Amino acid sequence: MFRAKKSIYGPAMIIRHNMYLLSKTKVITILVIFWSIVCLQPASSMPIVDAIRIGDYKNKTRFVMEMNKRVRFNVFTLGRPYRIVIELPKIKWKIKSSNLKKSRRIIGYRFGLYRPENSRFVIDLGRPIRVSKAFHLSPSGNRKHRIIIDLSDTSPADFFKNIKRGIPKTFNKTISQKNFKVKNKTLKKETPLIVLDPGHGGIDSGARGLRGTLEKKVVLALAYELKKQLVYNNKYRVLLTRTRDVFVRLRERIAIAHRAGADLFISLHADSIGKKHVRGGSVYTLSERASDREAEALARRENKSDIIAGVDLNEQSNTVAKILIDLRQRLTKNNSVMFAKLLGKQLNKKILMLRRNHRFAGFAVLKAPEIPSVLIEMGYLSNTHDEKLIRSPRHRRKIAKAIKIAIDKYFTIRKSMRRP
């Protein structure tokens, strides 16, 4: 006679098993619903520029920027050198500057984030021009929204006569000190404040490596690593002049350090040079006369940052004018040199440095009176070995450790000098 096989599971276990299946089904159902909601969400609201076209004619050049939606924009010109600046809201760029066509009137382009809330497209001009037309075209056929700018020739006198100085009020937002507060409020004000200045940013990419490494990205990564090491034992307060990929004017970098009452200012960079065999780090301090031709050339390149971003160099507030340099601050210069020598010694233990690793030149970003300031070049992106190292987080940790040791020694010396 056939007997049903007795279940090895008790009633309690069967109930638990059924509850498990039910809960699993609920989880799957919730995930399906969530995924459906996510997939049905509209695409990002950020405007996307995916094409730039240039039409070169005898009497004019037509510039066309194509994007997925209509945006508010402003156009103005700047001189010395001749430039056109297009102010836009924050834009996602799906174009490469290397692929953009040039013309008789247009000799170069740059684009990127200028402030957290807006982007810029800067057109370098080979001659004085005037913007004869600037308007928007709605989509038609397979064409998307377009910004059209017609450029025609003019005389230098008329160019400077009609030039629009400054930035339109709708975009004229400067970085205020409230954006750069030292967050660790538990530390006393007597705790040394170090201002770290990751060079370039936003529309200004800085040097570009052979493998496409952007200076603005690796120096920001180094700044974060250095900050991490400095705040670890609460010996220092640390402030960054920029915390993301955004452009900050050279004068504003100095002003940030000045307003915060910085005890030390460290500008972080990575160099590039035509001689691909040259490699190694270096430390720079301020001087009206450069230590050598290479230092002078580097200072010229770094000081062009505001021009690259389409800044009107004729603008200068009274506050910045007071900050922007008193080279007779001998004590500040001496402290900068002392710190630079300590840096060179410590960095030389960790990474390859140039034979003469302490150099000096007229860097605009080092012109903060009463604040000892140095500029560090962590290597050459134009050299394959240096670029590979600079891209490495491990290598950047070594650089940061050497800088921290130098900072420790610097403040130990300063403290001993203040003792009676």
Q: How far apart are CA 397 and CA 188, in angstroms?
A: 27
Q: How far apart are CA 106 and CA 131, in angstroms?
A: 13
Reduced to 3 DSSP states, what percent helix, strand and coil does the chain have, rounded to the nearest 5? 35, 25, 35
Q: How far apart are CA 78 and CA 122, in angstroms?
A: 10
Mean pLDDT of 65-94: 91
Q: Do domains 48-169 and 177-418 have the same CATH topology?
A: no
The pLDDT of residue 250 is 85
Give the CA distances from residue 214 to residues 13, 102, 334, 346, 376, in Å, rounded to whole numbers and listed in that order.
61, 23, 33, 26, 16
Mean pLDDT of 113-126: 89
Residue by residue, what is the 3-state secondary structure of 241-260? Answer: CCCCCCCCCHHHHHHHHHHH
Q: Give 185 or 80, the one with higher predicted confidence.
A: 80
Mean pLDDT of 385-400: 96
């070049």: which residue's tokens?
377
The pLDDT of residue 390 is 96
Listed in sequence order, the residues at least 6 apart from 81 whose beta carbon sits closer than 8 Å to its beta carbon are: 124, 125, 307
Query: Which pLDDT band, with edges at 50, 70 and 90, does 307 fall under?
Result: low
DSSP at 170: G
Q: Give 26 or 409, the one with higher predicted confidence.
A: 409
The pLDDT of residue 28 is 59
| Count of CB atoms situated within 10 Å of the CB of 247 | 26
Pairing, β 129-137 against β 145-153: antiparallel
Q: What are phi and psi of 65, to 5 degrees?
A: -110, 120
> Helix H segments across 85-213?
156-162
Among 228-237, 246-255, 315-324, 362-371, the range scoring the smallest mean pLDDT is 315-324
Highest mean pLDDT among 5-14, 17-26, 105-114: 105-114
CATH topology of domain 177-418: Aminopeptidase (3.40.630)
In order, the DSSP letters of 140-165 are BTTB-EEEEEEEEE--HHHHHHH---
Among 74-83, 166-175, 237-246, the range scoring the smallest mean pLDDT is 166-175
* Cβ-contact 357, 347 below 8 angstroms: yes
In DSSP terms, which residues pair with 133 in a beta bridge?
A: 150
Q: How far apart are CA 240 and CA 328, in angstroms?
A: 27
> Helix H segments across 233-381?
250-260, 293-303, 305-308, 318-323, 330-350
302 pLDDT more than 80: no
pLDDT tens digits for range 81-107: 889 999 999 999 998 877 788 888 898
276 pLDDT more than 80: yes
Q: How far apart are CA 155 and CA 213, in angstroms?
A: 40
* Cβ-contact 365, 302 below 8 angstroms: yes
Give the CA distances from residue 116 to residues 60, 96, 112, 203, in Å, rounded to whole numbers and listed in that order.
34, 21, 11, 11
312 pLDDT more than 90: no
| Count of CB atoms situated within 10 Å of the CB of 352 | 14
Residue 219, H or E segment: helix 215-231
54 pLDDT more than 50: yes
Q: How far apart are CA 252 and CA 264, in angstroms?
A: 16
Mean pLDDT of 205-220: 93
215 pLDDT more than 90: yes
Mean pLDDT of 56-76: 91
Pairing, β 264-271 against β 193-198: parallel
> Helix H segments across 59-197?
156-162
The pLDDT of residue 97 is 75
In CATH, what number does 48-169 get? 2.60.40.3500
Query: Which pLDDT band, with edges at 50, 70 and 90, does 70 fall under?
Result: very high
Mean pLDDT of 370-384: 92
249 pLDDT more than 80: yes
Q: How far apart are CA 112 and CA 87, in angstroms?
A: 11
- In the predicted model, what is the mean pLDDT of the chain? 80
SS3 48: strand
Q: How far apart are CA 107 and CA 124, in angstroms?
A: 6
**What residues does each domain of the chain span?**
48-169, 177-418
Q: How far apart are CA 241 and CA 180, in angstroms?
A: 7
User: Is there a cis peptide before residue 139, judged by omega within 30 degrees of 0?
Assistant: no
Q: How far apart are CA 340 and CA 258, in angstroms?
A: 20
Mean pLDDT of 349-354: 93
pLDDT tens digits for range 313-340: 554 444 433 433 443 356 678 889 999 9
């891209």: which residue's tokens?
391
170 pLDDT more than 50: no
Listed in sequence order, the residues at least 6 apart from 24 whose beta carbon sits closer than 8 Å to its beta carbon are: none
SS3 203: coil
364 pLDDT more than 80: no
